[in-house]
Amino acid sequence: MHKRTKVKITFFVILVGMASMFTAVVTDHWAVLSPRVEQVNATCEAAHFGLWRLCKKVIYISEADYNGKGCGPISLPGAENCTYFKHFTPGDESEIFEVKTQKEYNISAAAIAIFSLAFMILGTLCLLCSFKKGNDYILKPAGMFFAFAGLCAVISVEVMRQSVKRMIESEDTIWIDYSYSWSFACACAGFCLLFLSGLGLLLLSMPRMPQNPWESCMDAEHEVE
């Protein structure tokens, strides 16, 4: 398989990874939080959130099996109200971030995700430029940018995971149960695809090793792929 074909296949994988990461950043189903159900035939308020928005859903609980357990599942019908986090507005915090440290976790996750998007844009520009004849050397910075984008994605995922853990453990919040949702899965998929594709581009940017004992590395570099 020619080098150009390998680069195109890698670019397709990168596009899937970019779509997954972009979906994760703009959606609000990273985690689902549930308070304790105190009584049946009454309503409880579950929540799901992402990097930018919190959505609370009022769910009517009629089955006795849910008594004393977490409110949900979030897929049950109910009235939903969504509000955007005011990350950078002093003194105006959402109720879910009553503890200052928890808000700082979420701000960090959002900022790192933005860095991931920036690296993806830079990597895409470099990769598109490398398609021009004689620009194969640009594959190396493209691979580095996509690998960095993947690393930022996994760091954002880990920071968000720690944020959710702190919310559940904190005595200042009402949440007793949690689960990660499809936006979280998209971020994990984006990390895997972007990081591995970035490494793949770095490998493709390396000079080809000689196939014969009498062939020098310098001759291999000047061969037409």
The CATH number for 131's domain is 1.20.140.150
pTM equals 0.78
Cα–Cα distance, 57 to 28 (Å, whole number):
13
Residue 120 forms part of a structural domain: yes
Residue 68 forms part of a structural domain: no
Residue 118 forms part of a structural domain: yes
Residue 188 forms part of a structural domain: yes
Between strands 31-35 and 42-49, the pairing is antiparallel
Interval 109-156: pLDDT, tens:
889 999 999 999 999 999 888 888 777 788 899 999 999 999 999 999
Q: How many domains does the chain have?
A: 1
Cis before 210? omega within 30: no
Domain holding 16, by residue range, is 3-29+99-205
Residue 85 forms part of a structural domain: no
Residue 34 forms part of a structural domain: no
- Quick one: pLDDT at residue 68? 57
Residue 152 forms part of a structural domain: yes
Selected residue with higher pLDDT from 120 and 28: 120
- Quick one: pLDDT at residue 44? 76
- Check if the beta carbon of residue 152 is closer than 8 Å to that of residue 164: no
Top mean pLDDT of 74-83, 100-109, 154-163, 169-178 is at 154-163
Average pLDDT of the segment spanning 67-74: 66
Residue 66 forms part of a structural domain: no
